[in-house]
Amino acid sequence: MQLYPLKFKPILKERIWGGSKLRNELGKSTQAPNIGESWEVSAVPGDISIVSNGTYKGDSLKDLIERYPDEILGSNIVKRFGSDFPILIKFIDAADDLSIQVHPNDKLARKRHDSFGKTEMWHVMHADPGARLLVDFKHALSPEEYQQHLDDNTLLELMNEEEVKQGDTFFINAGKIHAIGSGVMLAEIQQTSDLTYRVYDYNRKDADGNTRELHTEQAMEAIDFSAEHDFKVSYPQEENICNLMVNSRYFTTNYLPLNGHLNKDLSQRRAFSIWIVVEGSVHLQTEGGSLKLRKGETCLIPAAVNLLLLEGESARLLEVTI
């Protein structure tokens, strides 16, 4: 296999709450007025990423993994997941509030959907003044209390609000109720899953006058009612160092403020890595090729790559590994 940084064609998703920042600020090629999500690296069935650069341009991520599993994924990932790609990378632009929702954990997702669960993290790239996220309940409560507020259309009274700014980061365990508020654009790193149980949608209607489906009963078994406020991530920001942000069984994410260059010896790893540019631009060089990425772009470094050189000025990157 020829080893080089793999870039993929973004998979753009129209959403009722979507806006124009993915086009205007991140340069996504679309004229649609309400693009809410750009799936950057995906192996979700029906939304498989396609390589957009180099020798394998036009090949799907799934096909490459089937042909070169150890070279792409790494032996540790193959042992754990087989040929399943375990990570989904997105950019999200919320011009309006997202629905209040929850995601199932692995056990429940496997039982109901034969799928991974959905634990995720958010890194805020832009926030309008006063923009906020809803994360978890204000306090622990019983399922009966939750249901009563849902029936009374007062669920918002239970929700914990977090005003946010650029750089704020949140780790959202499966089972934690949440919603992204209007005016927030963020990078999302999550398990490979598209499972969402929508519990409240502000009673809004789509262009055809229909309300969106709610998943009240499914969500009840998935929600964690304990209100453990363990979601806000504090992390160091030392320049030209990969600073640990999140270390979980699902993924590890590091934050790299880059001014100059950084050499990374990858020869001892047994897994792929993903790089996401959240500010500025960066030039990546491997033994098999190079790539320039700007804000809002993402690439995958195959597991078999041994050396990576990164160069940039005032660049901010997220490194995702397993």
Active site residues: 198
* DSSP string over 200-239: E-TT-B-TTSPBPP--HHHHHHH---S-----EE-----T
Q: How far apart are CA 165 and CA 37, in angstroms?
A: 20
Q: How far is Cα 191 from Cα 185, in angstroms, rounded to an integer?
A: 19
Q: Quick one: how many helices (H) and strands (E) in the chain?
A: 7, 22
Q: Which residues contact 61 (CB under 8 A, 6 or more apart)?
A: 8, 41, 42, 43, 48, 49, 50, 51, 85, 300
**Burial label, 195 (beta-carbon count in 10 A; 0-12, 13-18, 19+):** buried
Instruction: Classify residue 54 as exposed, middle or buried by CB count within 10 Å of its CB (0-12, 13-18, 19+).
Output: middle
